[in-house]
């Protein structure tokens, strides 16, 4: 019975080290105006971490209902991840729109040689 109530997360330190490196990469991508494909890749990776964090949060909430400080910390982390993810996706969309040939064609003047 006690084993069933245990919360086991392998390599927790490695998970958070990689997570914080990814946060830094997302920030650098946006600040350095990297290409949109890198933003897409980082955004997808960040979504995976967000899902994992939500699972951890849910398990902690169910397992340790008496630790409001820890749950509050997780809520803040999830909020930050959501904001960074939104910024990364907004950057990706802006880069795609800026480099899309379809969008460039919308603003192109074509002379047909007809007068009048």
Tell me the per-residue pLDDT of 75-96, one tens digit each, with 9 for 90 and over. Answer: 998 998 988 888 888 888 887 7
Structural domain count, the chain: 1
Residue 69: pLDDT over 50: yes
What is the spatial distance between Cα 95 and Cα 101, in angstroms, rounded to a whole number?
12
What is the spatial distance between Cα 79 and Cα 73, in angstroms, rounded to a whole number?
10
Judge whether 8 lies within some domain. no
Number of alpha carbons in the 13 Å side-chain half-sphere of residue 98 = 11
Q: What confidence tier does 68 reach under pLDDT thresholds 50, 70, 90?
A: confident
Judge whether 62 lies within some domain. yes
**35-60 pLDDT, tens digit each:** 778 888 888 999 999 998 888 888 88
Judge whether 107 lies within some domain. no
What is the spatial distance between Cα 113 and Cα 3, in angstroms, rounded to a whole number?
81
Judge whether 4 lies within some domain. no
Judge whether 23 lies within some domain. no
Q: How does the average pLDDT of the chain come out, rounded?
A: 77
Judge whether 60 lies within some domain. yes
Residue 62, domain extent: 34-100
CA angle 1, 13, 88 (to 5 degrees): 115
Judge whether 24 lies within some domain. no
Judge whether 1 lies within some domain. no
């Amino acid at each position: 019975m006690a084993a069933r109530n245990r919360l086991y997360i392998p390599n927790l330190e490695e998970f958070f080290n990689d997570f914080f490196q990814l946060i830094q990469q997302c920030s650098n991508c946006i600040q350095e105006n990297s290409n949109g494909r890198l933003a897409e890749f980082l955004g997808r990776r960040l979504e995976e971490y967000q899902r994992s964090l939500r699972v951890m949060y849910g398990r902690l909430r169910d397992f340790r209902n008496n630790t409001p400080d820890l749950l509050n910390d997780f809520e803040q982390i999830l909020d930050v991840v959501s904001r960074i993810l939104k910024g990364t996706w907004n950057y990706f969309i802006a880069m795609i729109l800026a480099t899309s040939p379809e969008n460039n064609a919308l603003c192109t003047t074509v002379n047909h040689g007809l007068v009048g």
